[in-house]
Each structure stands twice: as C-alpha cells, then as structure tokens.
Chain A
Amino acid sequence: MRSVHTNRALLVVRLALAPVLASVFLLPGSSTTVAQEAAGPLTVYSGRSESLVGPVMEQFTEATGIQVDVRYGDTAELAAVLLEEGERTPADLFFAQDAGALGAVAGAGLLALLDDVTLERVPEVFRDPDGQWVGISGRARTVAYTTDEDVVLPESILGFTDSSWSGRIGWVPANGSFQSFVTALRLTAGEEGARAWLEGIIGNDPVPYPNNTSAVEGVAAGEVDVAFVNHYYLLQLLAEHGDTFPVAQKFFEGGDVGSLINVAGVGELTTTDQPEAAAALIEFLLGEQAQHYFAEATYEYPLIDSVEADPRLPDLDSVETPDVDLTDLADLEGTVDLLRDVGAID
C-alpha cells in the first residue's frame, strides 16, 4: 500500500543512484577509451592548460593515430600526485610548465633516460644534463612596462631596488617562473645578493598578483608601472586587445639575469608501458609542426633550429640568457626558504 508519493520517491532515488551504480561497472572509467593495437591510449599529465596544448595533442593523434589521454592540472599539483603515486603511476609522460617540477620528479627517480637524438634537438642549456627531460618551448623573463607614461627602465633587473620605483612594481611571487628567476639570481649574485635584491624590491611595496596575466593587465590598468613576467603574456594580450594595449616589454642585455630563459619540458616516466608511443609524442613536440604551433599560438620560443619565433621578439640566440644551468633551477627549496624568510611568500 505505497502512496503515489512513495512510488515516485523510490523512482527518483533509483534514477539518481543509477549513475553511481553504473560507474562501478565502468571501472577503468575513461570516457575516451579507444581500443588500439598496443596497451590503450597514451597517458599524459600536463601542467599546461588544455586551451594551450590541447590542439597540439590533437595534431599528434591526427598525425600518428596514437590516442592520447591528457590529465590537465596545475604543474606542481601534478608533480605532487606523481610523487605520491611513485612507481604505481598510470602516467606515461609528464608535460611540465617549468624545469623545477621536472627536476623534482626526476629527483625521485621517476623519469626515464631519453635518447641522445631527442636530447640533441635542443640547445644544451635547454635540457637536463642527466638526460631525464627535454625542453619543448622557451619562456624569457621580461619586464612589462606601461606606454601610457614615459618610463625610464634600468639597464639591469637589479636596478629596480632603487627607491624611485616605490609603489610602481607588480610581481607574482607565487609563480614558478618567478621562483626560477630568483634561483638563477641566487646562482649569479650569490645568496646575499639575492637576498639584498628581494629586500630592496619588498622595500618598494610591490603589488602582488596571483598570475602573470593579471600582472600585465595591472600595468595596462595603471595599477603599477612595471611587472616582472614572462615574455608571451604581453603578446597574448596584444592579440586579444589589439595594438592599442598600452604595454610594452623589455629584454635585458648582456647576460643579465633579468632575461633568464626557462623552458616548459617533458619527461617520460620510467614505469611507462608504451615507450615507443611516448617517444613518438616527444619527437612530435620537438618537430616542426608543434614548434610552429608554440611559436604562433602561444608566442613562446621554439627550441629547434628550423623554426623561428614571433617576429616581434628578439632572436633566441640574441637573448643573452645568463650563464645558468637550468637543472640547478630545480633547487626550489633554497629559493622558497629565502622567499619565505624575506616575507615574499608564506
């Protein structure tokens, strides 16, 4: 003698629980599984966003027929997951936004040795000396500055500690690229030099932004006069807002640490069951099609010889990146301790 309401309620409950029960039977769970001759799709953990690298992955599948399942997330969070998963990771490749994360994962012994042919496609400074990861595209540190006013920029990044810059600087202390820069600063100027610079900047009351895009937009909005960012954000914003966007950027010369070039890179997990497919993806990312994509769609620096960067950018060779081993930039711990000590971050 169930009431109509009870019947209806039970129906609703059953319908609602259906997805839960169904999911138990979809144990592997992937919504994009396509059977292929080998062991299933290639699994990539990507710290770079889908909007950015999704098209490249599709191009790879079109070119080779190999399906790719990409897990998009934050580079550092994915690195934490990889470290947590250890040898049980289902990932085949780790595509990281910066070398630091690759270094951390390599340090845990999770990355496989890449072959020399692959490694030698990029200049030595843009790959792991131990051969466990290779750079895919380059990002130069620059200073974005407002064109709404006459701004006189110092010849070196070190010059921004001058008190005339008080209240005019925007930075992103939480950003991986910025920390890589500080690490490079520690290597070139020594611990004391780096500390002095940081304290000098903090003495100028910098405005902290949560990411590089908002920092450049902050320059355009007049919140700050300069911002310490990567070179491609300005080009992206110019594409979006048009040439009237009131911001330009400066590359420092003479091997100044202010023009450090860092790389987004890829490493292959030792536990992969598809080394050939993984190698094929790495080769594709270092091939002309993908390198052109990075140059045109994301305005980054392609790292292989045969592809040129956006014409508005100085040549990769001419950007005198400081004499710093990128692997050493993996020493984030020292940098983070310093940043915490001076109060730049928590």
Chain B
Amino acid sequence: MNATAASRRLGLRRPGSARRPPAALRVVAITVALLATVTLVYLVVRAADGGLGSLQPLFRARTLELVVSTLTLGLVVAAGAITLGVPLAWLTVRTDLPGRRAWSVVTVAPLAIPSYLLAFSFVGAFAPRGWLASWFGPVDAGVLPSPYGLGGAALILTLATTPYVVIATRAALARLDPATDEAARSLGSGPWAAARTAVLPVILPAMGAGALLAGLYAISDFGAVSILRYDTLATAIYSQYRFSFDRSAAAALAILLLLLAMALVWAEGFVRRRAAIRSPHGRRRVPAVIRLGGWRWPAIGLCVAVATLSIGVPSVTIGAWLVSGMRSALDLSDAIEALRDSLVLAVGASSLALVAAIPLAWLIVHYPGRWSTSSERLLYVVYAVPGISLALAVVFFTLHVVPVLYQTLFALILAVAMRYLIQSVGALQGPVLQISPRTLEAARSLGERPWGVLRTITVPLLRPGLIAGIALVFLSALKELPLTLLLAPTGFKTLATRLWDAARDAFYGQAAIPALLLLVVSFLSVGLLIHRGDIKA
C-alpha cells in the first residue's frame, strides 16, 4: 500500500520487525473504524433485505453507462482541481503575487458554497436567456457555453473542489525546506527543472490527497449534477430512494459506487508510491520569495478568473435574490439562530475531526500496515457514500444500538466529523511525513516526555496541516445538508438547510440571507485561519 512503501523508503520501518502501533493509536483507529463500518453494514443489510431482486439494477446496461459517466466525472474533476489548484497554491505561498493574502482567502472560501447553489447560479447565468445572455442582447443560444452536461458538471465541480487541492498543497509548500530547491539551482538546474525535481515530489502526496478528495466529492455529489442534467450513480441512488422508496436497490447501487470510490483511492495510492520524500532536517528557513516580474499579470488574471467563476457568479445570483425578494426576506432572528446553529455544528465537527485526525495521520505515516490501511479506507468510504445513505445508516445504527442518542446534536456532530475526517487526516499526512523522527528522538533523549514532545515539537511543526485540517472540515460542515436534515434534533436549522428549504420552493428572498451569511462566515473564518497560519513562530 502507498503508506507502507513510502514509509519504507523513509527508513521508518525497522528491518525485521513489524511495528505494531501503540495502544493509544490502536484505540483511536478501532473507534473510528467501528463507526465507519456501520455504514457498510447498513448497506449490506439493506441490499440483502431486498433479496436478489435488489441486485437487478446492478445488471442493467444503463448502470454500466452510469459507471462510465461517474468515473469520467471523477477523473476529469480531479485533474481539473490539480490544474487549477497547484498553480494557485504556489502563487499564493511562494511568489510575490500582489495581494496574495487576499487571494489565499479567495481561493479557499468557495468550499462553503453548496455545490447545488453554484450549479444553480451557473444555469441562471449561462442558460439561453439567462442574465449573461440578456447583457449581450438577443444572442444565439449556441454562443454562450452551455452549463449542462459533462462540461458544465465538470467545471462547476472543479471550481467547488479546487480548494481541496489548494489547501493541501499550500500546507505542503509552507513547510517546504528551501535547501533542496536551492541545492538544485546551485547545481545548474533552471527554475522549472529545479521545481520539478526538488519541489514537485515533496508536494505530490498533498496534491494527490487533495485531488482524491475532489474526485470522490464529484462522484458522490447529487445536488449539482441533478441541476446540470448529468446522470451519475449518485442520481440513480437518489432516484431509488425518491421514487420507489426502495432502500434495497439504493443500497446495492451505493455499494457499487463505493467500489468505484475504492478504485480511485487505489489509483491515488499507486501514484503516490514513488512520491514521499522527507526534507532534510535543518534550520527552518523561510524560502526565498520568487519574483514574478512580468508573469504577475497572467497570475493575477488566473486568480481573478477563478474567483469570478467560483464566487462572483453565485454572488450575482444571491444579489438578485436579495433584490427580488426584499419583501419576503428571512426574519433576522431566524437568520441569527441559523447562523448560531451552523457555527455550533461546524466548530464542533471540525474540532472533533482534528482531535481524531492527529493520531490517525500519525498512525498512517509511521505505522504502515493493516491498521493504517483499513482505517484510511473506511474513512474514504464514509466520505464517498451518498449523504442520504450515510444518514439512513446512522438512523439505523443509533436506533438499534444507542437510541438515547437518536436525533441529538452530539450524534450529528459525530456523524459530520466522521464524514469529513478524511479531509483532516489527508491534510496532516504531508506535514507528518516531513517531520523527522530523529528530531523527536533527540527531544526524548533530552528528557522530554512523549506528551511534552507532542506539545512542544510535533504540534507546532504540524501547524499548517492543523490549520488546513480545521478549515476543510469547518467549511464542509457549514454547507452540509443531508445529514443535518435527517439527523439533527428537530428544530435545529443551519444556514445550509434554511437555504435549501427556501430555494426548493423558489422562495428566493428567504434563501438570500442564509446564502449571504454562508459566504460571509466562510470568508471571515478562512481569513482568520490563514492569518493565524501565517504568523511565524
């Protein structure tokens, strides 16, 4: 498996002994795995419920078409997220791009925009006689690119998931030791070659993790693809729930979707195998800022283009909602309540996820083997499974095992944290890989106890990864919909559920305020986190 090979190359595996992870890490792994296994158990139970009949949808020709369309979407979006995300990350961390702090926030903030809102905005803009067409006057429908189909779905989902790659890559770049790069340059490599040999291999794990998150998000998304009229396995699964109330067939299709997800996970691991390199430890120096010179303008152009598409277009839609629906706007106290509930959920889920992610990332990097592989895979399962299936799995589990927790805030926070845990774990793996065990051993040999080593050395070194991990889960939790709708205590309403509720019956005036607040909160929180992350220790 990828982590095994990587760790072996790093010399972290002592020859001759299979390193068993310490008990503490094993406990964390088991707890997380138990909760994640529940999802699989539920799906298998439901699929089995329907007997052989529920397997029937799996063998239709249409299903094969959907497998192809789903995989295509996943791969295109992953590639797109890398294409956009890596340059943006590099520009905002390593260069003298004007206003790069602001661009740092702008490139990450779109994470909090629900994908269906983004899709809806694009349809409003680009549809024949949408608002873009009305600017250009009577225009042939063919001149404007259509937002529908694979092209539209790929674009919108790429815009929605590029922040995953940006965040992961930024974290890796922030901890990049310039020594390797400078050594390569001093040996005569040009800047691009030096980047390729010295920088790229170090950030490849982060890129891969981000791209995998993007691809998995794309294959399990329902909101955006249904608006953009692109059929995938996810839309088929929702159809089963909605039309035939057939939870068995839906479960069977969900298992198929998860098999696809595992294929993507495996593919990412395959690519990562050769990539993990630890920077030589030494004084932590701030890398020299790269001067862009004339390249500044295309760089700014790229940032502006991405920001316009991923934030500008939905903002126009929200603005139109505000203007059109002034009379029926959401009550201020309701909006504040929704804001409060959103923050409770987001802060709770992101903190819980972080607490679990640190030991898990440590486990995966330093103790490769069955424990780490299965933990990681189960986390990807929970991330990639369609929201409704996960919600029903949690309903099933809590009612049968811990009914007192059913429809409690705690269970919801736990479910959302589990759902996005892999994002935190992924964000931490790169930084963890870059910590030399020798530094830690040195600290131990100087008398520091393990807990002290964790506090004074490991955590500060992990800081970019910690920031990234919190940001990812926080923003994902802000826009989360299916789990909140079905698992929250009745009456607990977040900005995301308020927005969806109003928009689905076209009460756009009422949808405007929650949408606006979502944007504002995400900008503020991302800004704050990035600001803190940039403070040099």
A71–B245 CB distance below 8 A: no
Q: Closest CB of chain B to A41's CB: distance in Å?
A: 8
A162: CB under 8 A from chain B? no
Task: Give Cα A80 to B488, complex, Å.
Answer: 16
B130–A346 CB distance below 8 A: no
**A233 surroundings in chain B (CB, below 8 A):** 506
A31–B489 CB distance below 8 A: yes
Known: A31-B489, A77-B388, A208-B229. A26 touches B408 (CB 8 A): yes
B491–A23 CB distance below 8 A: no
A131: CB under 8 A from chain B? no
Known: A50-B501, A88-B403, A221-B127. A31 touches B347 (CB 8 A): no
List residues 494-537 of chain B with CB under 8 A from any CB of chain A: 497-498, 501-502, 504-507, 510, 537
Tally of contacts, chain A with chain B, CB under 8 A:
181
A26–B130 CB distance below 8 A: no
Known: A20-B348, A346-B231. A332 touches B245 (CB 8 A): yes
Q: Closest CB of chain B to A86's CB: distance in Å?
A: 8
B486–A73 CB distance below 8 A: yes
Known: A31-B492, A52-B505, A81-B392. A20 touches B410 (CB 8 A): yes
A245: CB under 8 A from chain B? no
A312: CB under 8 A from chain B? no
List residues 339-353 of chain B with CB under 8 A from any CB of chain A: 341, 344, 347-348, 350-352
Task: Give Cα A20 to B409, complex, Å.
Answer: 8
A189: CB under 8 A from chain B? no
A289: CB under 8 A from chain B? no
Q: Closest CB of chain B to A62's CB: distance in Å?
A: 16
Known: A6-B456, A90-B407, A336-B244. A30 touches B489 (CB 8 A): yes
B460: CB under 8 A from chain A? yes
Known: A3-B456, A6-B456, A49-B502. A346 touches B62 (CB 8 A): yes
Task: Give Cα A69 to B404, complex, Å.
Answer: 18
List residues 13-50 of chain A with CB under 8 A from any CB of chain B: 13, 16-17, 19-20, 23-24, 26-32, 43, 49-50
**A101 surroundings in chain B (CB, below 8 A):** 245
**B62 surroundings in chain A (CB, below 8 A):** 340, 343, 346
B243–A332 CB distance below 8 A: yes
List residues 158-214 of chain B with CB under 8 A from any CB of chain A: none
A345: CB under 8 A from chain B? yes
B491–A51 CB distance below 8 A: no
B407–A26 CB distance below 8 A: no
**B498 surroundings in chain A (CB, below 8 A):** 50
B367: CB under 8 A from chain A? no
Interface code A199-220, partner B: CB below 8 Å = 1, 0 otherwise?
A: 0000000001011011000000
**A23 surroundings in chain B (CB, below 8 A):** 344, 348, 408-410, 413
Q: Closest CB of chain B to A335's CB: distance in Å?
A: 8
B128: CB under 8 A from chain A? yes
B490–A69 CB distance below 8 A: yes
Task: Give Cα A233 to B505, complex, Å.
Answer: 9
B95: CB under 8 A from chain A? no
Task: Give Cα A5 to B460, complex, Å.
Answer: 9
Task: Give Cα A343 to B128, complex, Å.
Answer: 26
A72–B404 CB distance below 8 A: no
Residue in A31, A51, A78 whose beta carbon sits within 8 Å of that of B507 in the complex: A51
Residue in B348, B407, B501, B506 whose beta carbon sits within 8 Å of that of A72 in the complex: B501
B485–A73 CB distance below 8 A: yes
Task: Give Cα A16 to B130, complex, Å.
Answer: 43
Q: Closest CB of chain A to B16's CB: distance in Å?
A: 37
**A333 surroundings in chain B (CB, below 8 A):** 244, 246
A280: CB under 8 A from chain B? no
Interface code B393-419, partner A: CB below 8 Å = 1, 0 otherwise?
A: 001100100011111111001000000
Further pairs besides A19-B348, A29-B492, A49-B507: 11, Cβ < 8 Å: A16-B347, A19-B344, A23-B408, A26-B410, A27-B408, A30-B489, A32-B491, A50-B498, A210-B226, A214-B123, A332-B243
Interface residues of A (CB under 8 A from B): 2-3, 5-6, 9, 13, 16-17, 19-20, 23-24, 26-32, 43, 49-52, 69-74, 76-81, 83-85, 88, 90, 101, 104, 174, 176, 179, 208, 210-211, 213-214, 221-223, 233, 236-237, 240, 332-333, 335-336, 339-340, 343, 345-346
A-B contact pairs, 16 of them (CB 8 A): A2-B455, A16-B348, A16-B351, A20-B348, A20-B351, A23-B348, A29-B488, A52-B505, A69-B491, A80-B245, A174-B239, A174-B243, A208-B229, A222-B128, A345-B243, A346-B235
The 8 closest A-B pairs by CB, nearest first: A29-B489, A16-B351, A51-B507, A23-B409, A346-B236, A76-B242, A221-B129, A32-B491
